[in-house]
Each structure stands twice: as structure tokens, then as C-alpha cells.
Structure 1
Amino acid sequence: MATQSVSAVSLIPTIHDTNPIPSSSAAFGTPVHPLRRKQTSDATTPSILPISLPVATLRPLAFRTFTKKHDLTLTSSALQIITTFVGTHCGSGWREEGLAEKVLDEAAKAWKKNASSVIIPGEGSELADILQNIARCMVGGRIVHQRAPSRHDNPVQDQGYSNALLARPGGLSRDDSQQSLGLTSLDIEDNDEDLRAQSPRPWLRVVDAFDQPRLTYNATQKMFEVVRKRASLLPDPSSRLALLRDRYNIVHQRLMRNEAFQTSAVALSHSKSLQRSSSELVMPQQAYKLTPIANLLGRSGSTHVLLGLLGTSPTGDLILSDLTGSIALDLHHARPVPEDGAWFTPGMIVLAEGLYEEEGSVAGPGLAGDGGVGGTIGGIFHVASVGGPPCERREVTLGVTDTGKGSNTVAAGGFGWTDFLGVGSERANGSMMRNLENKVLGKHHLAVRTQGRSRVVILGEINLDNSKTLAALKQVLGVYALEEAEQTPMAFVLIGNFTRYAVLAGGGSGGSIEYKEYFDSLASVLSDHPTMLEDSTFIFVPGDNDPWASAFSAGATAVLPKRGLPEMYTSRVKRAFATANSEAKRPTNQKLGGEAIWSTNPSRLTMFGPSQEMVIFRDDLSGRLRRKALRFEAVAEPGFPDATADRAPIDGRDATSQEHVEIDGAIESAESLVPNARGQETTPTGIPSDLHAARKLVKTMLDQGYLSPFPLTDRPVLWDFGGSLSLYPLPTALVLMDPEAPPFALTYEGCHAMNPGPLVAQGKRGVAQWIEYDTRTRKGKMRDVRF
């Protein structure tokens, strides 16, 4: 214990020093006796103090910029507006740091692009709109252009004040679209005829796991911050502790924003007496209250609700850990909520409600702790019910208006200013991007002959070492080749494993030479359909059997996230795209051709900035969950204290109805697209077993808000890049490619989850199956064809 305490204390300076929670949990790397450290603020965003700038002082600089450089003429009223803007947004550094010159230059470029007159008047809204767009893209008085995020230089600005107002793709080449976009290209012309002719594909962007912004949640200020520390594949141990702390803090703050954990002021006013209003009985709603594990000391015999990370102690006992300590669990009388509706495994963050018993009355080895604050709290916690933390809808997280059928129309306290993916924050340009999406994909704007362009084709388990897979892939591509050129899907997502066995590890799929030959065969199949290579984006997501991870894991569990396929194996496929683009006959103003993107696992697709987000993940989730899941013996015995008797369930639904607890209204109203063959087995509630398994998997993953809710010893994660596995906020679409799970497409809490299954359907001879996702309706459907 002494050695463990010293090691924990030594890590304090490298962890969140501003965390006010006195933590003593070994699972989160906090000391037995927390040290009071002076809180230091790492001010990453320079503040600007507005000044009163005289017009005569700025006139020479404005004359050089507007008149001599851009041949424009400023009126007196326009100069007054610009001077006020510079003094407000640039402050005292307008001259020494050159802030004003950059603002004036961008304003002049924007005026020349959008206006035909060489005289800039102060009246009207043209100049005001230009300055407003510039203000959105300023951080600390500086204009920050969007650029392609790199692994070491994060594009997200402090507090998520995003400048990523995407440019119109019509005038950008593919190379230009991946480089810095100036403010002059931020304005989107409201030309319905032009937008109607546009394809939605230029607004598609792929964000891989290593280019995704690295954010951490500050529990003190209740906001996300950019991690300035340089990422490393071999970081110090504090990165592992920070990864676990972030997972816990995000779930904790998400739970505190849930209505079931908030006490209503109206309910408190009626707590002493009941009143009748409009023939309805007004009764107080008893809310849940979380208890830190350290606060259990001295409260034997009382019931509590705990939020913590499930784990196992060195003696093999099941424990629950939070930021204040750990406690041994007794699950003999526990019941899951909902019944058989979700998986519970070590490594998950769960809610446990039950009775705490002091260590003096506990018998049995390995259950008692040291009896003090630090390590495992003495005693045992008898769990009556255990459930996952309810997830939060994307609209609530981002704090935008909910256009659905929910009762809450506006979400309070959202993270609308946070740029989670480096494509722009919701508050900065979300409204503009949704309007643009409606113009490009709307029913009244998108022509009928081009509605097929909004589709994304998702194919899973492309085993190139299997001749049936190549035949099935050729047949699937042939289905879309028969359609008109304007109906070609904008993207094809090909998900591994690309071989049935681990390559470079002595497996049955051969070595490096054979692996390259597999992709040469794929290039031959793709070359037979040049139309799709000219007008579509092909995205390749690797699996555990693909290099380079398989060279070390030999097909076993590999570290997440995984990098894309090495370039040495994909040269022939790239050559096929280059040949198709060079031979394509397209108008001179259309420069965007087909391309192949070798992304990571997991990978994310964004459409129209923050408007749509799709997460693609390849893993054998179902098998791992079945192997690691906890078994609950039976429902609580009669007479055992049921702490939930006087409360509504955490998700606000009737706990006696397993049908409603397992899934929410979004799933009930969504059209289930799981193939239901005749004679398929059903659960005791009458639900087909495949549909039940799909719902169980989706609810588990989205409630956890993490793609790998397992111990790091079972599913290794790169500590500095663990944030790329987060599902917060919920994406609009989630692809869980799991060959052991049944194919499905269903909706849970506004997130449409899909599993295309293997391309060569199991149990069906000569049948290829895949999912076709429509970005207009944000729904996917299963498709199949015989080959």
C-alpha cells in the first residue's frame, strides 16, 4: 500500500491539477490523501480589451489596403464602421501585431467577391455581413483560417469558437479543399439554381482518428478544452489516467443534466402538501441523487445510488470505482435494468443502487478494505439494481432547437461552441450549414434525377482472399452501374477485415506479397466500373487482420485506433482511380473527381460541417460482450430492500414494462429493417431474437458513449488518442460492423445505428448483402442481390 500511494502522489502534477474533487481511487490514479494544490489557470485564449480607435488613426492603413492594394474606395460612413470593428475585435494590438491589416485585407477580398461596385458605402447590410463573418472566425483578435488538421497541430480553437465555416466547393479543386480556406470563401451565395445542380458529395469530409481534435473535459469550468500537449504513441502513465477520468467526467456531467437527477423547484414547493390543479393531483417527483463512494463511510444500512467504473480487484472480486474511492460489490440479489436489455461488463461505467453494509458485519475474504478514505472502502455494497447511464440526444448536447417530437424544444447548457471534429461548431455555423443542407438535399430543391447522389453504400467484411467476395462485390457494383450517371452514390464504404486470417503473421492469408495481390485483384474489379471511380468517394476502413497491426497481434485483439492500410499495398487501386479520372469527360468547371481514401478504424464522415456525422467502427463487439458480460442470478428476493420502489426509472419510463425500458420511442417509431425470416426464434416478449440482439448491442454502446467500453488489458487503446473513440455527442449515424451480430438498421435516441454484416451473407448461398444509407432521410436499408 505504501508503494502504491507514493506512485499515485507522484503523478499529481501531470494530471488535471484543477480538479476540485478530492479523489482517492486507485482506478483513476488519485492519491490516498489528496493534496491541496494551488489552482493555476492555463490561459490558452488571449483576451482582447476593446479600445476607442479614432478614425484618423486608421485612415492611412485603410487607404493603403483598400485603395492602393484592392482598388476600392471607402466612404466616410464605411470607414467609421470598420474603425469601430477594429477597435472592438483587435484591441490595442491592432498596429503592433498587425491584426488590423489582416482584417482589412480579408474585408476587401470579400467585398470584391460579392459586390460589383468599387465604392464601399456604409449604408446597407453588405459591409455589416462581411464583418460579421470575419468576427466569427476571430480568436484572440486574430483571424484563424481552417486547415487540414494534423496529428501534432490541432485545428480546434480554445473553447470551441470555431472558424470552420466551410467554403463552397464549386470553385475549389480537390487540393485546394484540403488546404487553408480563406475568409473570402466563407460566404455562400443564395443561388437556388446553382445549388440545385450541385452534388452533395463535395460537402463530404472524412476525419480519421489521428486527425481528430484532442479534447478534454474540465470538470471545474464544465467545458471542453483543447489538449495542447503533443500526442505520443508511448506517453507517460498520466495519459492513461486522464483517459479514464475523461470518460467518467463526461458521463457524470451528462447524468447531472438528466431530468431524473434534477430536483424541480416546483416539486419542492409542493413537497409538504398536495394540491389539486385542473383536476390533477400534483405530486413531488423524487429525483435520484448520486453518492460519492468515499461518503459511504459511517452510513451503514442506508441505500444509495453510485456511479462508477466496473472493475475487478487483485483478489478477483468485482468492485466499483469513482474519483473518490472503490467499493466491493455483491450482485447476488441484483437485477439489471432493463431485464436482458443491455450488456454489463468490467470496464463499463454503470449506475448501481443498493444497500451499504459496514465492514464490521461483513464475512468473507477479500471484501474488506483498509477502513479509511483511500483505496477500497471498507465494507460491501449490496446491489439491488444496476443499469447503464442514459444517453443524451445530440440536440441536447449541442444545445440546439429540437425539431423532433420531444417535449423539450430548447436544450440548456449545451456545448454548442465546441468544435468536436474540426469542421466547425454548432453555434458558429450549424444553422447556416443546415440551411445549405436543405437547399442541396431538400425535397423541393434536389432534382429527382439526382436524388441517388445522396446515398452512401456500406459494405462490410470484404475478404479479398475469398473468391466469392470478389464475385459478390462485382455484382453489387454492377447494380449501381446500371443506374444513370446522375444517380451514382456519392460514397462507397468498404470495411475490413480485408483478409480472413492475419497477414504477415504466418496465417492462412499469406504474407506481404499475397496481400498486395489481393488489392491488385480489387483494382481490376473496380476498373470494370469507371463511372463510379469518376464520381464517387471510396473509403477503406481496416480490421484487426490487416497490416500493420496484424503483424504484431497475429489476428488477436489489436490496439485502437488503427491506422489506415499502408500505401505500398494500395498503389494499384490508386492508379485505377487516376486512370478513370484522366479519361473522364466532365465539364471544365467540374474539377472534383473520384478518389480513394484509406482511413483509420474508427473513422468519421461529416456532411455539411456539424450537421451530419457518421461513425464507422469495425470490431467483434458481440463476441467480446458475451465473453465478458456479468451474469445475474435472479430477480431480487422478496423482502430485500428495493430502493427504486418510490422512484421513477432513470429513463423516466415504467420499469415493469421491459418493452419500453429496453428501447425508447425513437426505436418504437422507426421502421426496423432487420431481415426476419420465417421460423426465426423469438424472445419471451415476442420480439425476434435478431432484433432483440441488435437493440441490446446498440443500447449498450450508445449509453456508454464509447466505442470500446472494456478494460484496457482486454482491448488496448492508445491513451493519447482515446478521445477518437468517444460517442459524445451522439452521431447522427453509427456503423457497427460486427460479423457476429445480425444485420440491422434501427434508431435509438435519434442516432441511426447500422450493421451491414459480411458482404457474403452467412447461411445464404450466393447472396450479397449491404446497407444503403440515404443522407436525406438519415435512414439506412438492407439490400441484397444474388451472384
Structure 2
Amino acid sequence: MADRRQVIIKVFRKYGHSLGPESLEFLEDVLDRHEIALEDVEFSVEWLAKEYNKQDDAQMKVSLDVLSRVYDAFQNGDDGDQRHAQLDPDSHFFLIDAYDMPLWNWSTERSTFERAQGSLTSSGTAESRVTAMRNRLNVIKQCVLRNDHFSPSTLPSKDRENLLTIRSTKQLLGRAGERFLLFGMLTHSKEGKLCLEDQEGFVELDFSHLDQPSEGLFTEGCLALVEGDYTEDATFVVIAIGHPPCESRETSRSIFGHIDFLGKGATTLLEDKQFASRIQLELPDLRFFVLSDVWLDRPETLLGMRKMFDHCVETRFIPKVVVLCGNFTSVGIPQGNGREVRRYQDNFDALADLIAEYPLINGTTRFLLVPGPLDVTINSVLPRRPILPSFVSRLKNRISHVQFATNPCRFKFFDQEIVVFREDLMSRMLRNLVGVKPDVKNDDLKRYLVQTVLDQSHLMPMMTSIQPTLADYDHSLRLYPLPTAVVLADKYDRYQMTYEGCHVFNPGRFVGNSFTFSAYAPARRESEECVLEFDLDES
């Protein structure tokens, strides 16, 4: 009986909850009522703990009333008897700008997220800069410690012998000659030497004995798991280095499903499953088009878009959303060049006139414009503000459903979260590699980039000295919980792949004689490559 109680307590503690005597007695009574064997207790209680955690009124100390409600819902098998009307995609589409996302800080004392108090500012403070970096580390660390390789089962097993224990840099002192596993951020010391830094200190790294790191790209600012030997000269000889394990969206949502990370209302996993199945049945043909590098200063770009719209009208295949990512000019606008600024605005006016020629598309399709590195916005640091309103006034007036988003931005569609990020990320990552550089082929580089971004749970896993970010809004680049899909719009080659259940794709560049873009299918949670090829001389 004592063993069973210990299992129950540890499972709820895993999800950040404590049990009082009444709740513990209730759970034991449930287990007795259903004659749950000791070896099945952990699985059964974990299901109840997850469901309890999803409730809006869930408290740290488990409420018996809420726990009873969860159990009763399970007993009744109640799906709410909801046979809804036909799904309305428009009422379940929400654009979330980077500056609208609420900030949730990780609390090490309470082992959960806490919403930041007060307003956020673009200038930030010294404290917010420290908090942003701590959040990056702590959000990933809590995932690592929950991973099966680092978190033991509540039941005795042989796996405990293979459990990996993470040490801090402070624990290295006086223990030369021993082997350790460390977790921290790759940084450079004042002397320019590569170090691993955690919240308790840092240690210099020696990569001379490391032939090849694990898969992924390692840059300054990345969080890494490093195994090696501590030496007499206070250096850490690395024998293995890897990115932290990625946690699936379902796992994260089962623990923090009650937290509204996007500010648009949290849904339960049950609601998510219902939406997912209904989208597959009722909206199998719905598509989101994603175009990148839409160079409006090139006449052939508008010809390519016209051909795309013509094809949509002819086949009656109208996309629900068209995401247009910058750059919207092939060259930057020189400072103070009034002629180029005027031309930049004229190009957006031409785009508005083109879309207005297609009433069916204009009336039903949402257009979302995301600025690129060369586009004119208020700021050049991440997250970038939308394109200046003065350039897109005609688009606002002539297009029925157009929105101008930040970079990055994300939108919530039923149970799905899609992140859109326009940055030349591949070249930036390759320019800033540290440690051992991988000798890999082109396809492997694409996979490594995707793995790195998702394992790091951040769109820009680098130091702010490499890519400045606004400290108060660093969370807008966070990829936790893992989104359903991530658009890494890049001038690099097109690709698409699914990693840990998250679909990541680069739509390619909408330039040249072969216009490439992607069509995302929410029903399948996958993207399709679309290519428009035609002879410009015949146009």
C-alpha cells in the first residue's frame, strides 16, 4: 500500500502538483474500485494527472472537486454529445503578432510557467535581458530533466543504472580526473575561448578529443549537453556533445495545456483531438499558400502571381490563406533615396490592383504579409514590426482580408499552431558554427538546421551579439510547446520534413522562370511543393 501511495504522489509531483490526504484517499479508492494492479498504477494515475492538469481551475495543491470532475467525465465517456454544425474556418483563424503574445516566465521555485506582470517595452531592462536568457535555459532544462534518459521511473527497474545525471559547473571544483555530463550554453570567455556556461558558472571546453559531434549545428548561444573529463588545468575535455532532446507537442500540452501561451484561449487535448478529426473529414481540401521572396520590383513576379491566381480560379481551388513573405524587393532601399521609396510603395499598389482583379479570391482568401530582412519596418532587430502602413494603404483599401504581420508571427487554426519566420537562417547558422563543424551534404544540412531549431525550442538559437533581439519579446521566438508547423522561409533551397511531429518547411523563392511555393494542408499537417513554370517571352 505504501508503494502505491508513493507512486501516486510522485506522478502528480511530476506535473507540479501536490496531493492532500483526501485526494490521495480518493485516488486509492478509484484504483481499488477498478482493481488496478500495482504495475499498472503509474500508467492509470498519470492519465488522471494529465487530465487534471488540463482543467482551467487546476491548482498546485490538487482540488478534490476538480479531481472528482475529471474522474466523472471519464466514467461517463462524455464527449459533450457535440455534433456541431459545419466547421467555419474563418471563426477559428487567429493571427498572433509577436508583440501580442503574453510573456510566460519559467519559475524554478514552482516548476511551472508564471505570467509576467506589467507591460512589456521595446527598450527592455537589464533584468529582462537576464530573464530572457534564463528562460531559454530553464524551459529546455525542465524538458531534459523530464526525459526518460534523465528522469527515473517511479517503479524500481534496471534502467536506473543507466540513468544520466546532469551536473553543474560548480560541482566540477576539486574533482579533476572525473567524468561529468553538463548542460549549459555555448559562449566565449573574455579571452575568446569557447566555454559552457550555466547558472552557477562556466568551464572552458577542449574539443581536441572530439572527432564528430552528434547531429545538428552548434553556434554560440546554443544550449548543449556535453560529456567529458575535467582536468587539472580547469578545462573540460569534450568526448561527446549533443543538442537537448526535443519534447513533442502532445507531451508539453499534457503538462501545460491549461496555460494560454498565445493569448487566444487555451484548449484541452480532448478538444484538439475532436478538431483534428473533424478537419480531416470536413476540410480535406483546404490549403494555405506560402510564398517567400516575392520581389515586387521584378515584373515577372506579378506575372507568376497572375498565373497562380488564374489556375486557382480555373480549378475552383481557392486557398483559404496566402502568406506572402519578404523580401518584397530584390535590393535594399538606400537611406534617403526618395525615388526608391516611391517605387517600393508603387510595387505594393500594383499587387493590390492585381488581387482586386480576382473578386472570388479577394472575397474569400486571407492575405498575410510578413516582412523580410530588406523590407522597410520600424526596427531591424527581432521581432520585426510589420511593413510601415504608409506603403500599404492601397492594399488595405482594396483587399477585403489583408493583415500585416510581424516577423516572426504565428496563427492559430483550430487545434493547430503555425509559425512563420522569414530569415536567412541557414547562412547565418553556418557562419557562426563553433566547436567541431560537421562535414555533411546538402540534404543533411537541411535536416540539421531543422533539428537544431526545434531541439533549441527557439527560432534564433544564438547570442544577441550575433542577432539582436528585444529582451521583453524574446518569448515570441520561443518554440515551446512545439508548434504544429514551422515555416522557415529562407533564400536557401526548398525543403520539407517532419521532426518530432512538427512539420517544418521552406517554401523556396518565388523568383525566376520557375516560381516555387508551398501549399500547407491542415487536414494532413503536411506541405506540398508547387511549381509554376512558363516562358516569360510568351506572356
TM-score range, shorter chain: 0.7 to 0.9
**1:235 maps to which residue?**
124
- 2:311 matches 1:479: yes
Distance 2:275 2:350 in 1: 40
Counterpart among 482, 491, 508 of residue 757 in structure 1: 508
Distance 1:523 1:266 in 2: 63
**1:614 maps to which residue?**
418
Correspondence list, 1:527-538, <5 A: 527-538=356-367
| Other structure's SS at 2:205 match | strand
C-alpha deviations, 1:330-362, integer Å up to 9, x for none?
111124442xx3110111111111000133xxx
**1:394 maps to which residue?**
249
Answer yes or no: is the 8 Å Cα contact 1:504–1:510 preserved in 2: no
Correspondence list, 1:770-781, <5 A: 770-781=517-528
Deviation at 1:488, TM superposition (A): 1.5
Deviation at 1:691, TM superposition (A): 2.7
**1:317 maps to which residue?**
193
Deviation at 1:693, TM superposition (A): 2.2
C-alpha deviations, 1:299-321, integer Å up to 9, x for none?
00000011011111111111110
C-alpha deviations, 1:399-436, integer Å up to 9, x for none?
1xxxxxxxxxxxxxx11211111122243xx4235424
- TM-score, scaled relative to structure 2: 0.81
Counterpart among 696, 699, 702 of residue 451 in structure 2: 699
Letter in 2 for 1:598: F
**1:251 maps to which residue?**
140
| Other structure's SS at 2:162 match | coil
Change (3 A) 1:573 1:223: same
**1:547 maps to which residue?**
376
Tell me how large the CA RMSD over aligned residues is. 2.5
Change (3 A) 1:200 1:546: same
Distance 2:271 2:467 in 1: 40
- 2:433 matches 1:629: yes
C-alpha deviations, 1:202-245, integer Å up to 9, x for none?
31111010001111010110111110122111122111100000
Answer yes or no: is the 8 Å Cα contact 2:280–2:524 preserved in 1: no
**1:353 maps to which residue?**
227
Answer yes or no: is the 8 Å Cα contact 1:398–1:426 preserved in 2: no
Correspondence list, 1:587-602, <5 A: 594-602=400-408
Counterpart among 381, 393, 417 of residue 559 in structure 1: 381
C-alpha deviations, 1:21-59, integer Å up to 9, x for none?
xxxxxxxxxxxxxxxxxxxxxxxxxxxxxxxxxxxxxxx
Answer yes or no: is the 8 Å Cα contact 2:295–2:511 preserved in 1: no
Deviation at 1:189, TM superposition (A): 9.3
Answer yes or no: is the 8 Å Cα contact 1:261–1:288 preserved in 2: yes
Deviation at 1:526, TM superposition (A): 1.1
| Other structure's SS at 1:692 match | helix
**2:478 maps to which residue?**
726
- 2:351 matches 1:522: yes
Distance 2:161 2:511 in 1: 52
C-alpha deviations, 1:611-663, integer Å up to 9, x for none?
100000011111111111125289xxxxxxxxxxxxxxxxxxxxxxxxxxxxx
Count the aligned residue pairs. Answer: 463
Change (3 A) 1:511 1:396: same
| Other structure's SS at 1:442 match | helix
Structure 2 unmatched runs, 5+: 1-54, 60-65, 67-78, 535-539
- 2:158 matches 1:296: no
Higher relative contact order (CA 8 A, sep 6+): 2
| Other structure's SS at 1:261 match | coil
Distance 2:287 2:81 in 1: 25
Deviation at 1:505, TM superposition (A): 2.2
Letter in 2 for 1:738: D
Counterpart among 397, 422, 429 of residue 575 in structure 1: 397
**1:468 maps to which residue?**
300
Structure 1 unmatched runs, 5+: 1-135, 141-160, 162-186, 271-282, 360-378, 400-413, 551-557, 578-593, 635-682
Deviation at 1:721, TM superposition (A): 0.5
Deviation at 1:491, TM superposition (A): 0.5
Correspondence list, 1:293-442, <5 A: 293-338=169-214, 341-359=215-233, 379-399=234-254, 414-427=255-268, 430-439=269-278, 441-442=279-280
Answer yes or no: is the 8 Å Cα contact 2:184–2:197 preserved in 1: yes
Distance 1:510 1:714 in 2: 32
Deviation at 1:266, TM superposition (A): 4.8
Distance 2:96 2:385 in 1: 12
| Other structure's SS at 1:622 match | helix
Answer yes or no: is the 8 Å Cα contact 2:152–2:160 preserved in 1: no
Which has the larger Rg?
A: 1
Distance 2:409 2:80 in 1: 28
- TM-score, scaled relative to structure 1: 0.56
Deviation at 1:573, TM superposition (A): 1.1
| Other structure's SS at 2:315 match | coil
Distance 1:483 1:776 in 2: 20
Change (3 A) 1:510 1:614: farther
Distance 1:265 1:221 in 2: 21
Distance 1:564 1:735 in 2: 17
Q: Once the two structures are aligned, what percentage of the paired residues are identical?
A: 31
Distance 1:633 1:478 in 2: 46
